[in-house]
């Protein structure tokens, strides 16, 4: 059995150094013109969504993309950079959501209680991640995957059963601090023709926190610490022989990724003003994250932005397209069923399988390769 490297290494000594942009991106440039263009376009559209589109649907889609960028990037840190497959990522996502929800619901709608909720959630996540990591990262990767799956499902059941605290299956709805409510108006006049309200403030809070988290994670994977993670991914035995404590590094990676996922969960809860098992804890979200990471590109970080944007857009708008196709094919047996709007996941699943075989670097890897040829 030959050990083929699962993911092309992203290490490249010849990268340009210096400059503000390089500093911001931790010298890890997109390294492809097309990729840079797509990334700039996505970020610009996200930044200007409140001014470009009217109505709540585009804003919600954009907010969801921001949340998933953080979530998927944190999962990429684990899967792509450390080579660990965890199925407990939604658990941390859920803990973040519940932290905010329980804080704001029980302690009143102000910033203090949101902060308390977030800090409590971060501590819970860190402790859980350390416990799972130390117990199961010593053994083989498969064990870790299975154990995280079991623990995550137990947590999901627990959350839906402890209805006194978590609201059970119904989840928790709560009030936001005043500055984030739709009634809040910071300016008396419209800005660029748009009346700024609390929703837009909330959106920008999400946007900037998400971008900050993303850049932070980009910094982490390009630090010496991140290099060790990649070394462990490529050859665990050799990394250990070089004197790096593999278990400690892996555990640290899973804690960092868990904390980032917790923040993402908190952001989602703030945006939805609600948190329940289905929005953050369900296994379906875990599958979504996997799809986003792999289709976007494992071990690239930028893949998270592309994967999240593509997936959320597909989730929101591909169904419309498929409905049209399904109607056009009505009358033929089975075919309309296959492109029924509810079957969009079938096609993304197929794309996922093809991605793993044909372009392990996902879309980002493909674009970078295209440049080289």
Partner 1 sequence: MTDITAETTAPTELPRTKTDWMPLALVPALALLALPFIGSPSAWVTLTVAGLAMGMMIFLMASGLTLVFGLMDIINFGHGVFISLGAYATLLVLGPLAGWGAADSVGLNLALLLLCIVTAMAVTGIVGAVFERVIVRPVYGSHLKQILVTMGGLIVTEQAIHALWGASPIPIRLPETLRGAFVIGDIVMERYRVVAVGIGLLVFLGMQLLLNRTRIGLLIRAGVENPEMVEALGYRIRRLFVSVFVAGSALAGLGGVMWAFYRQTLTAGMGMEVMVLVFIVIIIGGLGSVGGCFVGSILVALVANYVGFLAPKLALISNILVMALVLIWRPQGLFPVARR
Chain contacts with partner 1 (rule: CB under 8 A):
1-4, 6, 83, 85, 135, 139-143, 145-147, 149-151, 153-154, 157-158, 161, 283, 287, 290-291, 294, 334, 337-338, 340, 342-343, 345-346, 348-350, 352-353, 356-357, 360
Closer of 112 and 349 to partner 1 (Cβ):
349
Alpha carbons 280 and 172: distance in angstroms, whole number: 12
Residue with tokens 């009030």: 175
Nearer to partner 1, 44 or 354 (CB): 354
How far from 176 is each of 109, 200, 256, 265, 270, CA to CA, in Å?
5, 13, 27, 15, 7
| Contacts by residues 115-124 (CB-CB < 8 Å, ≥ 24 positions apart) | 117/266, 118/262, 118/263, 118/266, 121/95, 121/96, 121/262, 121/265, 121/266, 122/96, 122/259, 122/262, 122/263, 124/95, 124/99
CB 86 within 8 A of CB 148: yes
173 backbone dihedrals φ, ψ, rounded to 5°: -105, 145
Pick the closer one to partner 1 by CB: 131 or 328: 131
Nearest approach, Cβ of residue 206 and partner 1 (Å): 28
Q: Which is nearer to partner 1, 280 or 326 (CB)?
A: 326
Smallest gap, in angstroms, from Cβ of residue 155 to partner 1? Answer: 9
- Closest approach of partner 1 to the CB of residue 161, in Å: 6
Q: How far is the CB of 145 from partner 1 (least distance, A)?
A: 6
φ, ψ at 35 (rounded to 5°): -65, -45
Of residues 59 and 132, the one with the C-beta less far from partner 1? 132
By beta-carbon proximity to partner 1, the closer residue of 14 and 334 is 334
Min separation Cβ 79 and partner 1, Å:
8
Least spacing, CB of residue 331 vs partner 1, in Å: 16
Residues facing 275 on adjacent strands = 172
Orientation angle between helical segments 141-161 and 89-107, nearest 10 degrees: 30
């Amino acid at each position: 059995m030959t050990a083929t490297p699962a993911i092309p290494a992203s290490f490249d000594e010849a990268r340009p150094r210096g400059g503000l942009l390089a500093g911001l991106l931790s010298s890890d440039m997109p390294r492809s013109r097309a990729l840079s263009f797509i990334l700039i376009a996505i970020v610009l559209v996200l930044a200007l969504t409140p001014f470009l589109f009217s109505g709540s649907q585009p804003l919600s889609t954009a907010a969801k993309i921001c949340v998933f960028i953080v979530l998927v990037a944190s999962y990429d840190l684990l899967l792509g950079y450390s080579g660990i497959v965890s199925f407990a990522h939604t658990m941390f996502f859920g803990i973040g959501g519940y932290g905010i929800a329980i804080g704001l619901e029980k302690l009143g709608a102000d910033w203090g209680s949101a902060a308390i909720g977030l800090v409590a959630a971060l501590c819970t996540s860190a402790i859980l991640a350390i416990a799972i990591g130390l117990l199961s990262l010593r053994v083989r990767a498969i064990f870790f995957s299975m154990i995280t799956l079991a623990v995550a499902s137990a947590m999901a059941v627990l959350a839906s059963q402890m209805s006194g605290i978590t609201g059970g299956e119904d989840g928790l709805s709560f009030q936001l601090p005043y500055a984030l409510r739709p009634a809040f108006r910071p300016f008396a006049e419209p800005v660029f023709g748009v009346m700024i309200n609390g929703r837009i403030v909330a959106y920008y809070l999400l946007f900037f926190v998400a971008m900050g988290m993303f850049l932070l994670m980009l910094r982490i994977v390009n630090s010496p610490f991140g290099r060790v993670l990649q070394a462990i991914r490529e050859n665990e035995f050799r990394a250990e022989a070089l004197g790096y404590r593999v278990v400690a590094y892996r555990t640290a990676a899973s804690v960092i990724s868990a904390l980032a996922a917790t923040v993402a969960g908190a952001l989602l809860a703030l945006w939805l003003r609600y948190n329940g098992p289905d929005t953050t804890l369900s296994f379906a979200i875990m599958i979504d994250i996997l799809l986003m990471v792999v289709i976007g590109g494992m071990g690239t970080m930028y893949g998270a932005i592309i994967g999240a944007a593509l997936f959320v857009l597909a989730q929101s708008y591909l169904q419309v397209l498929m409905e049209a196709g399904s109607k056009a094919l009505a009358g033929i047996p089975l075919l309309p069923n296959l492109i029924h709007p509810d079957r969009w996941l079938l096609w993304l699943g197929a794309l996922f399988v093809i991605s793993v075989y044909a372009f392990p670097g996902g879309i980002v890897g493909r674009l970078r390769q295209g440049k080289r040829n």
